[in-house]
Chains A and B, each alone.
Chain A
Amino acid sequence: QQQVKQSPQSLIVQKGGIPIINCAYENTAFDYFPWYQQFPGKGPALLIAIRPDVSEKKEGRFTISFNKSAKQFSLHIMDSQPGDSATYFCAARAGTASKLTFGTGTRLQVTL
């Protein structure tokens, strides 16, 4: 029940495309859903996060869509660029300052 399932495992899009990464969860106690971007040899960096009382959040080219009834959330990257090539992890947390449970990651490659 603590798992966060993430798909796809890898994704290749052309520059300007809109990659979409999906995550699903079971634990209804989760109250915070961040997305992290990770480059090789680096730590995860917070990209954008959402709480379950909103259905969508946009920050720059990154958008989270959240469907509370389906227990699913997704990351959309608008106008993707080669510099967006990285591994993306969704995560979830149940309660203030509690641990993050990560998805399995999506390796995104944006080609020219």
Chain B
Amino acid sequence: EPEVTQTPSHQVTQMGQEVILRCVPISNHLYFYWYRQILGQKVEFLVSFYNNEISEKSEIFDDQFSVERPDGSNFTLKIRSTKLEDSAMYFCASTSTGMGNYGYTFGSGTRLTVV
């Protein structure tokens, strides 16, 4: 079964540093998303991306965050200057709007720890 692949699985960074989280969505999917989950809490939407541009973003997704699809397979989330409160699991997801398919597939996540 096709998977969404995320790397790294765990990243530790110092406060103020930049991090890039990487995702390889399912190859025939057209819509891409980033979500985050602070430990023990619900999954929160960050941003959606379609046709090489942001289609929607949440209030969490401020100027410190950016997304990019640098080539035909990768989808990245950059946090420019990390804060302690950015520590969370970050999940990439993708979906296709093909006939009868409404499923969103999530990756296994990157655990980001800001120290």
Contacts and interface: CB of A to CB of B under 8 A. Distances in A.
Interface of A: 32, 34, 36, 41-46, 49, 51, 89, 91, 96-105
B102 A98 contact: no
A102 B43 contact: yes
Given A32-B102, A44-B91, A49-B102, A99 B45 contact: yes
Interface residues of B, number: 28
Given A97-B50, A97-B95, A98-B48, A46 B104 contact: yes
Nearest to A104: B42
B107 interface: yes
The winner among A32, A44, A49, A101 for most chain B CB atoms within 10 A is: A44
B24 to A, nearest CB: 14
B48 A43 contact: no
Contacts of A49: 102-103
A40 B103 CA distance: 21
A61 B1 CA distance: 21
B62 to A, nearest CB: 17
A42 B42 contact: no
Nearest to A107: B40
A97 B107 contact: no
B106 A45 contact: yes
B97 interface: yes
Given A43-B108, A105-B42, A99 B102 contact: no
A36 B91 CA distance: 14
B105 to A, nearest CB: 7
A43 B109 contact: yes
A105 B107 CA distance: 18
B92 to A, nearest CB: 9
B15 to A, nearest CB: 24
Contacts of A105: 41-42
B107 A43 contact: yes
